[in-house]
Structure 1
Amino acid sequence: MLEFEWLFNQGALEINPICAPHATTFSAVQTNELEDATEFIQQDSVVLTIAIAFANREDELVDYLAHLASAGAVAVGIGTGLIFSSAPDAAIKAAQELGIGLFEVPRQISFISIVSAVHQEQSRRNDIAQRRLLSAQEQLTHTATRGNLRELLHEAAYLIDVELSIINEHDDAVVSTAPPTKLQYFSSYEMTAHGERQHTLKVDSDHPITAEDRSLIRHCAGLADMLLARPLELRQARNELNSFALRLSLGLPDTTSPSQMLPTTLDFPRDKEGFTRPVAVLADDTRSLERSKLALDANLEKRGQFLYTAQLDAVSFTVLFRGDAELKEILDLFGGSLRRLRVAIGKRIHSTELSSEHVEELVARARPLPLGDYLSPRSQTMPWLNSEAVRAALASRRRETINVLRTIDAERNTELARTLSVYLRKGGQLKQTAEALNIHRHTARNRIAHIQQLCEIDLSEPTVFAELLFAIVQDSETASN
């Protein structure tokens, strides 16, 4: 925006002001000779015209100026010496009533010279603003390198002359340059979401917020975002410390690189009652295990949480979660890597009571599971399955179904035996079975139908379903011994 004072002070343009505009600034200068140019008039513009369409129709200039004002023009410059020797009285009266500016442009001054002068001044000011913005951005970046979020916000507030504050997803102020205020102008910028963490940079000002101000505020928001986010290097270091501390707490040997500076206390992931939940994770190979650990860390990072693990051996580790973590929440954190794991989720236990015995028990429970399956605290063992009569009956059922499916799987590279196992353990729920196997629900339904046809069984019959479930459980326990 340029000031009318600047325009009228350009002596080379020889502009003769007649009516002062209500507005103090304008955005552009344009020429127009149409009687109705509403669709072409820019907001807050100055219109230059010789009014050729109104020769001998001076009185109609009243309506012409009115439609220019309604279209957004804030001033009109009439070129004199061609159609009118001076600004017509009707135009002067209309401009006074409408509150728009009116000035004369003598014949020897071309309209293009006015347009060019305005364009050059706007370019000059834009260059100055850009240099000022770049300098301010560099200043904020330098401040941010010191790692002090409060100092960054105060520096930005000083440069823009506004009040700034960062609030979290609960509308609590994380840092602010002043107490809560209700100034005339307000804006806000949503910062990058980190899982459940969401921050917003709020701006309060007693003056309009310019485009340069907004650019600097966005730059400040980006820098603040980096200071609020946990850097990858810090996160990896913290995860390693958590792992070392967990090993120390459980009395596990360090199979990697022992350190002389292991922490003696552990920042357990506790709920508000002080409870944690241990989980044992087993895989068939180290690559699957590492992928699961990476998936866990990535998903926890989205929630603003750290990873607490201790490697047990090459293909197993234990991990801790908050005591109030739900079963589905824990399983979801493994993502697609779950299908290559055996997972045993322990009961809530007070962090001061956690020991290696709890971990060993979970590992023992997880080991007989098929890949992609898990045990929860609600899973129960059934000692009566070990009676000779029951074992014989279930072994017969197993040979007729499970062993048949395993043979077919080996020949055709299918997963019918695993599908049946998961389906039985999920209580015959197709949706849960499909989710556990990471397949479509229709695929799971087709597999179950194919299994019933191959084995000549009816899984809708409760006794058949129960017998097969017990056979699966017994098979898992036998494999672990």
Structure 2
Amino acid sequence: MLEFEWLFNQGALEINPICPSTAATFSGVQTNELEDATEFIQQDSVVLTIAIAFANREDELAAYLAHLAEAGAVAVGIGTGLIFPTVPESVIATAQELGIGLFEVPRQISFISIVAAVHQEQSRRNDIAQRRLLAAQEKLTHTATRGNLTELLHEAAYFIDVELSIINERDDVVASTAPPAKRKYFSSYEMTSHGERQHTLKVDSDHPITAEDRSLIRHCAGLADMLLARPVELRQARNELNSFALRLSLGLPDTTSPSQMLPTTLDFPRDKEGFTRPVVALADDTRSLERGKLALDANLEDRGQFLYVAQLDPLSFLFLFRGDAELQEMLDLFAGSLRRLRVAIGKRIHATELSSDHVEELVARARPLPLGEYLSPRSQSMPWLNSEVVRTALASRRRETINVLRTIDAERNLDLARTLSVYLRKGGQLNQTAEALKIHRHTARNRIAQIEQLCEVDLSEPAVFAELLFAIVQDSDTDLD
């Protein structure tokens, strides 16, 4: 945009201003001699005309001026000396009434000289703007190499004279140059998604945001994106820090080497309401447990998330999900490693309320599970199962069934014990059992028949079915595997 003040100060053009425009700037200059110029007039432009179409219709020239203003012109330059010796008074009155600029172009000044002068000035200013933009981009790039996101935003905000802030997918402010304030102009830029992580650069301004401003904003967003991307080479270090901070928060012993790092805050994975979900995984050997952690980390990395895990002992760990995570979503993250783990999924809890008591409760719930099984918050708790009489009776039933099947599995390389456990937990539904075991329905039916024969039980009898189900879910310290 160019200023009318600049245009009228070009002495060589000999322009004679008559009526000032309500607009201080204009986008360009064009010539027009059409009576109906609606589709050709550029917005906020200056129109030059000698009004040849109104040679014998001076009384209609004022209406033509109104037509140009309605089409988008902010000023009109009338060439005098050919059709009209001077600018008619009716046109001047109309210009004053409409607030559109009006000036006279003497006969000796060609329209093309005005168009060329404007074009040359626009090119000169564009060149200057481009050089400033490149210099600013270089400065921002240099600042970004120092890795300070807040400094990057402050420097970009200074160049553009705006306020900048970055928010995440939970609408939390990640970095900002000033407290939130309602300003006249607003814009936002969606940054690159990293799995479930999404950041947005927001711009608040007291002045219109120009094309050069937007270019610099996009450049700033790209640099900020790289600073927030959390490079792969830093991932392991960040995972270890999260693990240490989680153990420190819960008062758990450090099972690895002591560290000098003493974090004061813990970045819980939480949903928009601030809730997290604790999950405990137990294994029979350290290799299976490590595979479980590696599977979690790999799948979380694909989603752009970090691993929040704390080693409880050599055969168990605590893992945190966002509170709004779905059950199947959590199970899928374990992938194939789930079959070698016992998993207890806790209820949604506010991140600040998570304690070692919650962890101990989940460990107690997970310990009796068969390998490859899990408990969710919907699993029913039955305290009477812990009475001595019931425990003794169920232990006897386990020895007669579960333990017998495990012995046979080991000798014949079968999977009868797990089949019975899944069948009971699926309520005796063969289709669901087969789907969970990833076997054919007929195979599941044959295994159940074989189990009934080997253990001399009738699983169609409700009392027998219930007793066996209680036997495998009993919440005790007995190792049922």
Tell me the CA shift for residue 299 of structure 1.
7.0
Listed as ranges, the matches of 1:331-370 within 5 Å are 332-335=329-332, 337-342=334-339, 343-346=341-344, 350-351=355-356, 365=368, 368-369=370-371
Shift of residue 2, structure 1, vs aligned partner = 0.7
| Aligned-residue offset at 1:128 | 0.9
Aligned to 1:33: 33
1:216-255, aligned counterparts within 5 Å? Answer: 216-228=216-228, 230-241=230-241
| Correspondence 1:206 to 2:203 | no
Please report the RMSD computed on the Cα atoms of aligned residues, expressed in angstroms.
5.5
CA offset at residue 45 of structure 1? Answer: 0.8
Mark the CA change 1:204 to 1:386 in structure 2 (over 3 Å): closer, same or farther. closer
How many pairs align? 440
CA deviation digits over 1:168-225, x for unaligned, max 9? 6776765544455444444444555677876554444333332222332343344444
Is 1:101 aligned to 2:104, yes or no?
A: no
1:25 is displaced (CA, Å) by 0.9
Q: So what's the TM-score if we normalise by structure 1?
A: 0.67
Cα displacement string for residues 259-296 of structure 1 (whole angstroms, at most 9, x for unaligned residues): 68587999989899999653226899899757623345
Query: In 2, distance between residues paired with 1:202 and 1:181?
Result: 12
1:463 is paired with a residue whose SS is: coil
The SS at the match of 1:30 is strand
Determine if contact 1:422/1:433 at 8 Å carries over to the other structure: yes
Partner of 2:308: 307
* Counterpart position of 1:116: 116
Matching residue within 295, 301, 318 for 1:320: 318
Partner of 1:90 in structure 2?
A: 90
Using the TM superposition, give the Cα deviation of residue 29 of structure 1 relative to its aligned residue in structure 2, in angstroms: 1.7
Q: Is the 8 A contact 1:29 1:47 kept in 2?
A: yes
Paired AA for residue 295 in structure 2 = S
Cα drift, residue 32 of structure 1: 2.1
Q: TM-score w.r.t. structure 2 length?
A: 0.67
- Label 1:310 to 1:26 Cα distance change in 2 as closer, same or farther (>3 A): same
8 Å CA contact retained: 1:2, 1:122: yes
How far 1:386 sits from its partner (Å)?
Answer: 6.2
Cα shift readout 1:342-361 (whole Å, capped 9, x = no counterpart): 23224879438979x997x8
Query: Aligned residue for 2:2?
Result: 2
- Comparing 186-195 with 51-60, which one deviates more in the overlay? 186-195
Identity among equivalent pairs (%): 59
2:77 alignment counterpart:
77
Mapping 1:149-160, distance limit 5 Å: 149-160=149-160
- CA 1:470–1:111 in structure 2 vs 1: closer, same or farther (change >3 Å)? farther
How much has 1:453 moved relative to structure 2? 11
SS at match of 1:42: coil
Q: CA deviation at 1:307?
A: 2.6
Q: Residues 424 and 465 of structure 1 are in contact (CA less than 8 Å); yes or no, is this contact kept in structure 2? A: no
> Residues 169 and 358 from structure 1, CA distance in 2 versus in 1: closer, same or farther, beyond 3 angstroms?
closer
Aligned to 1:413: none
Contact 1:297–1:307 (Cα < 8 Å) also in 2: no
Runs (5+) with no aligned partner, structure 2: 347-353, 386-390, 450-457
8 Å CA contact retained: 2:15, 2:103: yes
Asked if 1:294 corresponds to 2:306, the answer is no
**Which secondary structure state, in structure 2, belongs to the residue aligned with residue 125 of structure 1?**
helix
User: Aligned pair in 2 of structure 1 residues 113, 473: CA closer, same or farther (>3 Å)?
Assistant: farther
- The 2-side partners of 1:108 and 1:376 are apart by 90
What SS does the corresponding residue of 2:209 show, helix, strand or coil? coil
Distance 1:26 1:311 in 2: 70
| Cα distance between partner residues in 1 of 2:310 and 2:63 | 79
| SS of aligned partner of 2:297 | helix
Deviations 1:115-146 (A, max 9, x none): 33322221221121111112112222323333
d(CA) in 1 for partners of 2:422, 2:397: 26
- The residue number in structure 2 matching 1:21 is 21
CA–CA separation in structure 2 for the residues paired with 1:208 and 1:475: 69
Tell me, in whole angstroms, the C-alpha distance in 1 between the residues paired with 2:179 and 2:94.
Answer: 49
